[in-house]
Amino acid sequence: MSASLAEIRNLSVSYGKGASQGFALDGLDLDIRQGRRLAVIGESGSGKSTLALALAGLLPLEAQFRGEIRWPGLAHPPMVGRDIGLVFQDPGSSLNPVLTIGEQVAEGAVRHLGLDWCGAHRNALALLERVRIPDPQVAFDAYPHQFSGGQRQRIAIASAIAARPRLLIVDEPTSALDMVVQAEIVALLEELVREAGMTLIFITHDIALASGFADDIAVFQQARLVEHGVARAVLTEPVHAYTKRLLSAQIDFSTPRLINEVADV
Ligand SMILES: Nc1ncnc2c1ncn2[C@@H]1O[C@H](COP(=O)(O)OP(=O)(O)O)[C@@H](O)[C@H]1O
Ligand SMILES: [Mg+2]
């Protein structure tokens, strides 16, 4: 078993007061293991994004928070951009429309790796090339709206990993994209995570998407973690009725590398 990067203990997040109080997460215990790819699955409203925001320290002010998140492997409390890379469903929420692509991809390396602007420029060009943006030199001076949705998501990924974070959290990063682009983005994330030895949390409502690459799967239902284990076990011998329901509504898991096969087309 690899060591824990994060240990979540009895974490509850709620909104509202009295009769209108609603739990987004309810008594969560979960270890995020170093170097593993964890898929977080559950229907809309089950608390998946709340988990991402809690780990990133970005819960809104109105959120009521109880419990603890420990980071045994980090010397300091984690900082988004430096220790944690975040990518959201809509690259519009990760990318600033009025800054050039180059400024946004270079920024993390200037701020967190201490590179000068020249070094960060070179670093950004290499990253854009790595995420397969055509003509990085031209892309560097362009703005987000000049790219397709899939390319914007690649740029958001480049920006999120620019400072070489230990943990990459991607929240429904492909939900707004068509199937082929989805598969390409998943394949890219897999490569980047493997190369850098990053820990990945991949949030999705799509269990089929997760099944192609996840080491571990955590299933959420109505603010609670209802199942957690090694992916193959969860997919082939689910214990919880909700996981069984999710699986029966989806694909045939006797062909587990489906996503990669799609990506190779
Ligand atoms: N800022 C907020 N104010 C009030 N309720 C919220 C807020 N953010 C999330 N919630 C509620 O918390 C629950 C979990 O939300 P979320 O974590 O976004 O779910 P998911 O990402 O799985 O769709 C939902 O019922 C949602 O309405
Ligand atoms: Mg969400």
DSSP string, 27-62: EEEEEEETT-EEEEE--TTSSHHHHHHHHHT---TT
Q: Is the CB of 152 under 6 A from ligand 1?
A: no
Q: Which pLDDT score is estimated for 264?
A: 37
pLDDT band at 250 (very low <50, low <70, confident <90, very high): low
Helices (H) and strands (E) in the chain, counts: 11, 9
Q: Is the pLDDT of residue 252 over 50?
A: no
Q: Residue 257 corresponds to which tokens in the numbers above?
A: 């590398």
In a domain, 155, yes or no: yes
- How far is it, in rounded angstroms, from Cα 128 to Cα 122? 10
Mean pLDDT, residues 169-173 taken together: 94
Spacing, Cα 120 to ligand 1 middle (Å):
36
Mean pLDDT, residues 151-157 taken together: 94
Q: What is the Cβ-side half-sphere exposure of residue 3, based on CA atoms within 13 angstroms?
A: 6
Q: Which pLDDT score is estimated for 54?
A: 97
* Per-residue pLDDT tens digits for 177-202: 888 888 899 999 999 999 999 999 99
In a domain, 110, yes or no: yes
Mean pLDDT, residues 200-217 taken together: 91
Structural domain span for residue 147 = 96-163
Spacing, Cα 168 to ligand 2 middle (Å):
16
Give, using CA atoms, the residue closest to atom 12 of ligand 1. 24
DSSP element (H, E) containing 69? strand 64-70
The CA R_g of the chain, rounded to the nearest whole Å, is 18
The number of residues making up the chain comes to 265
What's the one-letter identity of residue 245? R
Going 183 to 186 to 81 to 109, the CA torsion angle's sign is negative
Q: What ligand is nearest to the CA atom of residue 48?
A: 1
Q: What percent of the chain has pLDDT over 90?
A: 77
Q: How far apart are the first and last CA of the chain?
A: 35
Name residues whose C-beta falls within 8 Å of residue 24's C-beta, 6 or more positions apart in sequence: 13, 14, 15, 47, 50, 63, 223
In a domain, 118, yes or no: yes
Q: Which pLDDT score is estimated for 179?
A: 86
Q: Is the CB of 97 under 6 A from ligand 1?
A: no
Q: What percent of the chain has pLDDT over 70?
A: 94
- What's the structural domain count of the chain? 1
Query: What is the residue-averaged pLDDT of the chain?
Result: 90
Spacing, Cα 124 to ligand 2 middle (Å):
29
Q: Is the pLDDT of residue 261 over 70?
A: no
Q: Decide: 4 and 38 in contact? Cβ < 8 Å.
A: no
In a domain, 183, yes or no: no
| 182 vs 91, more confident | 182
pLDDT band at 75 (very low <50, low <70, confident <90, very high): confident
Q: Decide: 24 and 14 in contact? Cβ < 8 Å.
A: yes
pLDDT band at 82 (very low <50, low <70, confident <90, very high): very high
Complete edge-to-edge strand list for the sheet that includes strand 224-230: 84-87, 167-171, 199-204, 37-41, 216-221, 224-230
In a domain, 157, yes or no: yes
In a domain, 242, yes or no: no
SS3 category, 218: strand
Spacing, Cα 141 to ligand 2 middle (Å):
31
Q: Is the CB of 48 under 6 A from ligand 1?
A: yes
Q: Which pLDDT score is estimated for 206?
A: 87
Q: Is the pLDDT of residue 55 over 60?
A: yes
In a domain, 103, yes or no: yes
In a domain, 121, yes or no: yes
Q: What ligand is nearest to the CA atom of residue 90?
A: 2
Which atom in ligand 1 lies closest to the alpha carbon of residue 172? Answer: 21
Interstrand relation of 167-171 and 199-204 (parallel, antiparallel or unpaired): parallel
